[in-house]
Amino acid sequence: MKLAFGIALAASVLVVGCSGSKQEGAAPGGSSSKPGKKIVVGFSQIGAESGWRTANTESIKSEAAKRGIELRFSDAQQKQENQIKALRSFIAQKVDVIMFSPVVEAGWGPVMQEIKDAGIPVIVADRRPDVSEDMYVTFIGSDFVEEGRRAARWLAKKMNGKATILELQGTPGSAPAIDRKKGFEEVLKDYPGMKIVLSQSGDFTRAGGKQAMEAFLKSPVGRTANALFAHNDDMALGAIQAIEEAGLKPGKDIVIVSIDGVRGAFEAMVAGKLNCTVECNPIIGPQLFDAVEAVVAGKQLPKRIVVEEGVYDQSVAAKELPNRKY
C-alpha cells in the first residue's frame, strides 16, 4: 500500500500519532543541497530481524534508486552503538539528509545534537527517538499505541471479554514494544475478565518468539492460557511452532493476535493457526523520499505523519493474501 505524500500530509492533521504532535517545523540547519546536485541521504536501519524489516528496507532502497537519490545505507544489526557510529559517519560524509529508525528510544541526545550542529536535517522513520522535536524535521511511521489498542479490541470481541493472556514483547526499550504494550493494556482496563498472566521479550524475532513460548508452556500458569498477544508476526509464527510441538492447536487451543501484517501471518491465518494480525505498513519508502525532496527544497513539513493501516482476521485472510507484497 503506497500513499501519496499529499494524502499523508492531510491525514496527519487529523490523526494523532505516537508523539502527539501537530507542529510544523523547518529542517534544523536547513540543507546544503544545490539545484541540479544529486541528493545524498544517509540511512541507518535497525537490522533485518523480521520479514517486516526486510520489506521496509527494500521499500527504502528501491524508492531511492527510482528517484536517482544516492542512498548510503547502514545496517545496525539491532545494536544502538552501531547506529550512533553510522550517524557520526554520515556527519563526516556531509550528506544532505540523515534518516534513521532508532533501535531503542533512549540515548540519542548527544549524537542528535552533533547532527543539528552540523546543519544536517533528520527524518525519523518507523520509530521515534526520545529527543525534543527540534532535533528532527518529521517522524514518519505507524501509531504503535493504536496498534496495541486494535489488537486488544479484536481479542476482547473474539473472547467475549474473558481471556487468560500470554504476551510476547518486542525488543526491550524499543518504541513499538513500549507503545504496543501500552495500547493493549489501556483497552484491557475495560475488561476485568482479561488478564496478561505471563509476559516475556522475544526480541521481535521468530526464534525469540519460539523460545519464549516454550518457556510459557512449561509454566503451570502458562498452560492455563487461552490467548496470546505477540508484538509482531515473526514472534507469533515462532510461538505457533512451539505450541504445535507441545501438542496443542494454535488458533484454537490458544487464540493468537499479532501485529505487522506480513505475508507469513496471512498464510498462517489461512491455515487456521493465527487468528488476527494488525497491520503495520512497512512500505514507507515513497513517503520518506517525498519528505527528503521537500526538505531539500526548503519546504515545511508536519512533525508527525501517520501511516494508514488496517486489521485483518481469518475471515478475510484468503482474499487478502494475494495482495500482500511483504
* Domain boundaries of the chain, sorted by first residue: 5-141+282-308, 144-280
Rounded distance between C-alpha atoms, residue 130 and residue 254, angstroms: 36
pLDDT band at 30 (very low <50, low <70, confident <90, very high): very low
Question: What percent of the chain is predicted at pLDDT more than 90?
Answer: 85
What's the CATH code, domain 5-141+282-308? 3.40.50.2300
User: Comparing C-alpha atoms, which of 183, 184, 241, 190 is closest to residue 212?
Assistant: 241
Q: Is 90 exceeded by the pLDDT of residue 122?
A: yes
CA-nearest of 12, 278, 17 to 147 is: 278
What length does the chain have? 326
> DSSP per residue over 85-120, as a string?
HHHHHHHHHT-SEEEE--SSSSS-HHHHHHHHHTT-
100: which residues sit within 8 A by CB, 6+ positions away? 43, 44, 45, 83, 86, 87, 122, 124, 125
CATH superfamily of 144-280: Response regulator (3.40.50.2300)
Instruction: State pLDDT tens for residues 130-178.
Output: 999 999 999 999 999 999 999 999 999 999 999 999 999 999 999 999 9
| pLDDT attached to residue 15 | 32
Residue with cell 521481535: 204
Q: CA-to-CA distance for 51 and 92, rounded, in angstroms?
A: 32
pTM over the 0.85 mark: no
Residue 206 pLDDT greater than 90, yes or no: yes
Q: What whole-number distance in Å separates Cα of residue 312 and Cα of residue 162?
A: 21
Residue 67 has pLDDT above 80, yes or no: yes
35 pLDDT band, cuts 50/70/90, is low
pLDDT-wise least confident of 69-73, 86-90, 94-98, 280-284: 280-284
> How many angstroms separate the Cα of 13 from the Cα of each of 20, 23, 303, 304?
11, 10, 10, 9
Same topology between domain 5-141+282-308 and domain 144-280: yes
Q: Taking residues 108-125, report their average pLDDT.
A: 98
Q: Band the pLDDT of 36: cuts 50, 70, 90.
A: low
* Burial (CB count <10 Å: 0-12, 13-18, 19+), residue 37: exposed
Tell me which residue has cell 482496563: 189
Contact between residue 60 and residue 285 where contact means Cβ atoms under 8 Å apart:
yes
Q: Tens digit of pLDDT for each residue in 261-306?
A: 999 999 999 999 999 999 999 999 999 999 999 999 999 999 999 8
